[in-house]
Amino acid sequence: MTGRIIRIAGPVVEADRMRGALMYEVVHVGGGALIGEVIGLSEDVATIQVYEDTTGLAPGEPVERTGAPLSVELGPGLLGMVYDGIQRPLQVIREEMGVFIVRGASFPALDRKRTYIFTPEAAPGAAATPGTVIGTVQEGRFTHSVLIPHGMEGTIASVAGAGEYTVTEEIATILSTDGKELPVTMLRRWPVRVTRPVAEKLKPGAPLITGQRVIDSFFPIVKGGTAAVPGPFGAGKTVVQHQLAKWSDADIIVYVGCGERGNELADVLRQFPALTDPKSGEPLMERTVLIGNTSNMPVAAREASVYTGITIAEYYRDMGYDVALMADSTSRWAEAMREISGRLEEMPGEHGYPAYLASRLACFYERAGHVRVLGPSGKAGSVSVIGAVSPPGGDFSEPVTQNTLRVVRVFWALDADLAHERHFPAVNWLTSYSLYPDAVERWWNEHVGDQWGEMRRSMMAILQKESELEEIVQLVGPDVLPEDDKLSLHIAEYIRESFLVQYAFDPVDTFCAPDKQYMMMQLITDYACYGKAAVAGGMQVSVIAALSVAKRLLRLGAIPDADFREYFEETERRMKDAFQNPGGEST
């Protein structure tokens, strides 16, 4: 099982005497046992991508096969961890090896010494099918179900009693259909490039509430949905991803920092332990798994990082949780593919990307979904995937953006011009879209109010109108517009400035609850309605704009959720008065 290096070119190494090696098998490269993966085979020569810096490797050094594909460890203890692209625990590496990353670090992803209190649930003799709950352990505030692993079928022979166990201790044995007795531990492995199976895919469910108005109310995503956030540098991709990781109402967050800045991970690590999940009141870090393979870390491990992330997401989904995965940025993943492909001297496709770019992207996003999990529980769970895309020069016609758009159902197009004027989130309201609003509208009708769909459509229509009118203004100036068009421009400004602008760093406005979003929409659409009637009755838009109640609509975001209903009612009342009796309003 030992090969020999014959060529080293950056992260790609070739070795001979490798006949029998498997595609995607993990190998240990060189005397320092660097971790690598077989990505090509030709006769007895294997091409290997190495997950660590290859400086210092020489031809002739050994390559050891492991016989296993690149896999992650799954079990209790993943939450709160920070891993590199191949699931090495970065905090442990720091404690053991210092602040700079050195090569050849080898520490298990899950702590072998830590114990968990196990509560058995299955009884010996019961049927064992994949997904059957053997028992549970408490992982922070989450009930972590220990399931019969995929590929095991038969009857449960024994189950450990209630008590404390480490992840490697046996907690059950299964008598397989072919008569073998198989030990089961809490720890298991799963090959990252293989989708974990489910019973069935379900239709899109409830919205993933993010507390970001432009998302929830204009371009919503659902639990189990897919979204892409493309934008030039500085447009706000990372802030959107961080906002979703902080505030979205998923149970568990997997955040993949894929080829981006070290300080952005430091930022998450600085903020998350101190912030609380609005749903549970517990520290955000306790529901989060961070995968950080920053831009200066080895490029092959960057390529693996998104797979590591999504496999962990699927693992928690299989227990019936709603998991959301953010990948910032999928373009860096695609570039890692391109870099490796270039070293392999493969025939390049568009912009030098390998021809399989589209299929890799599609397969990745296909791992999202709202599903019924395997096993007798019949539970639903979901993985939502939100991928940032970093198009070169901000040009959305490039291959990564285009191939992503073919598979995702929500598109939040970030716009440099909006970012430059500090309109954040810089989501362009004309080009962005969501293919989920119908599914989501039912939820709003049931949970918040039945005007959501209508208000949303009318607000979006006003913005559309604004952009048409702006073209006219560009040609002939603003003063020739009739009053009702001027009113549209006036309302559009309120929609943009009061509703769509939402600063992430504002302690109140960083998260906006659905009912507050709804009331804000109501205030603006009611104002538009009154205004329309008033204009029809001969009132000038400049007079409407000068009403003192109009100013009450300016800083809606800054009013805390708790005070909002009162503010809303008072404003509605004043609005009614002002429009019924325009002269009587004190300004």
Give the footprint of Mg ion on this chain (CB under 5 A). Answer: 237-238
- Quick note: the x/- pattern for ligand ADP over 370-409, rule CB under 6 A, is ----------------------------------------
**How far lies 204's CA from each of 14, 166, 233, 254, 368, in Å?**
45, 37, 31, 20, 11
Q: Using CB under 6 A, count the residues that bind ligand ADP.
A: 13
Count CB neighbours of 414 within 10 A.
26
DSSP labels for 427-460? B-TTT-EES-HHHHHHHHHHHT-TTHHHHHHHHH
Task: Report d(CA 297, CA 308) in Å as an integer.
Answer: 16
Binding partner selected for residue 7 from another protein, Mg ion, ligand ADP, none, CB under the kind-specific 5 to 8 Å limit: another protein
Segment interacting with ligand ADP, rule: CB under 6 A, options 90-98, 236-244, 293-301, 444-452: 236-244
Report helix, strand or coil for 119: strand
- 239 binding ligand ADP? (CB under 6 A): yes
Task: Report d(CA 152, CA 184) in Å as an integer.
Answer: 10
For ligand ADP, the binding residue among 71, 87, 210, 238 (CB under 6 A) is 238
Q: Which residues pair with 174 in a beta bridge?
A: 156, 182
Type of residue numbered 164: E
Q: Are 134 and 159 in contact (CB under 8 A)?
A: yes
Segment interacting with ligand ADP, rule: CB under 6 A, options 51-59, 129-137, 230-238, 451-459: 230-238
Tokens of 507: 């302690």
Task: Report d(CA 382, CA 342) in Å as an integer.
Answer: 36
- 244 binding ligand ADP? (CB under 6 A): no
- 560 binding ligand ADP? (CB under 6 A): no
- Quick note: the x/- pattern for ligand ADP over 177-216, rule CB under 6 A, is ----------------------------------------
Min CB(501)–ligand ADP separation in Å: 9
Tokens of 310: 């999504």
Buried b (16+ CB within 10 A) or exposed e, 192-231: bbeebebbeeeebbbbbbbbbbbbbbbbbbbbbbbbbbbb
Closer CB to ligand ADP, residue 309 or residue 369? Answer: 309
Burial of 245 (0-12, 13-18, 19+ CB in 10 A): buried
Of residues 348 through 377, those in contact with ligand ADP by CB under 6 A are: none
Q: Are 298 and 51 in contact (CB under 8 A)?
A: yes
Burial of 258 (0-12, 13-18, 19+ CB in 10 A): buried
Closer CB to ligand ADP, residue 11 or residue 211? Answer: 211
Of residues 425 through 464, those in contact with ligand ADP by CB under 6 A are: 425
For ligand ADP, the binding residue among 97, 194, 416, 504 (CB under 6 A) is 504
Closer CB to ligand ADP, residue 278 or residue 394? Answer: 394
Min CB(264)–Mg ion separation in Å: 7
Segment interacting with ligand ADP, rule: CB under 6 A, options 228-236, 450-458, 522-530, 561-569: 228-236
- Quick note: the x/- pattern for ligand ADP over 285-314, rule CB under 6 A, is ------------------------------
Closer CB to ligand ADP, residue 238 or residue 517? Answer: 238
Going by their DSSP bridges, the two strands 226-230 and 380-389 should be labelled as parallel
Of residues 484 through 503, those in contact with ligand ADP by CB under 6 A are: 503
Tokens of 567: 């503010």
Angle between helices 452-476 and 514-536 (to 10 degrees): 50
Task: Report d(CA 356, CA 348) in Å as an integer.
Answer: 10
Min CB(246)–ligand ADP separation in Å: 12
Binding partner selected for residue 231 from another protein, ligand ADP, Mg ion, none, CB under the kind-specific 5 to 8 Å limit: ligand ADP
Tokens of 98: 């210092």
Binding partner selected for residue 230 from Mg ion, another protein, ligand ADP, none, CB under the kind-specific 5 to 8 Å limit: none
Burial of 421 (0-12, 13-18, 19+ CB in 10 A): exposed
Min CB(462)–Mg ion separation in Å: 31
Q: Are 214 and 425 in contact (CB under 8 A)?
A: yes
Segment interacting with ligand ADP, rule: CB under 6 A, options 27-35, 232-240, 306-314, 459-467: 232-240
Closer CB to another protein, residue 37 or residue 260? Answer: 260
Task: Report d(CA 452, CA 519) in Å as an integer.
Answer: 10
**Location of structure tokens 């939402």:** 502
Binding partner selected for residue 265 from ligand ADP, another protein, Mg ion, none, CB under the kind-specific 5 to 8 Å limit: another protein
Binding partner selected for residue 196 from ligand ADP, Mg ion, another protein, none, CB under the kind-specific 5 to 8 Å limit: none
The answer, yes or no, to whether the previous bond of 329 is cis (omega within 30 of 0) is: yes
Closer CB to ligand ADP, residue 100 or residue 505? Answer: 505
Min CB(545)–another protein separation in Å: 9
- 235 binding ligand ADP? (CB under 6 A): yes
DSSP class of 160:
P
Closer CB to ligand ADP, residue 65 or residue 302? Answer: 302
- 237 binding ligand ADP? (CB under 6 A): yes
Binding partner selected for residue 287 from another protein, Mg ion, ligand ADP, none, CB under the kind-specific 5 to 8 Å limit: none
Closest CA to 75 of 195, 165, 193: 165
Binding partner selected for residue 425 from another protein, Mg ion, ligand ADP, none, CB under the kind-specific 5 to 8 Å limit: ligand ADP
Q: Which residues pair with 133 in a beta bridge?
A: 147
Over its C-alpha atoms, the chain yields an Rg (Å, rounded) of 27
Min CB(305)–Mg ion separation in Å: 15
φ and ψ of 246, to 5 deg: -75, -50
Contacts (Cβ under 8 Å, ≥6 apart) of 88 = 105, 106, 107, 109
- 424 binding ligand ADP? (CB under 6 A): yes
Min CB(237)–another protein separation in Å: 10
**Location of structure tokens 């989708």:** 195
Min CB(85)–Mg ion separation in Å: 17
- 22 binding ligand ADP? (CB under 6 A): no
Closer CB to another protein, residue 93 or residue 174? Answer: 93
Closer CB to ligand ADP, residue 24 or residue 503? Answer: 503
Contact residues toward ligand ADP (CB under 6 A) are 231, 233-239, 424-425, 503-505
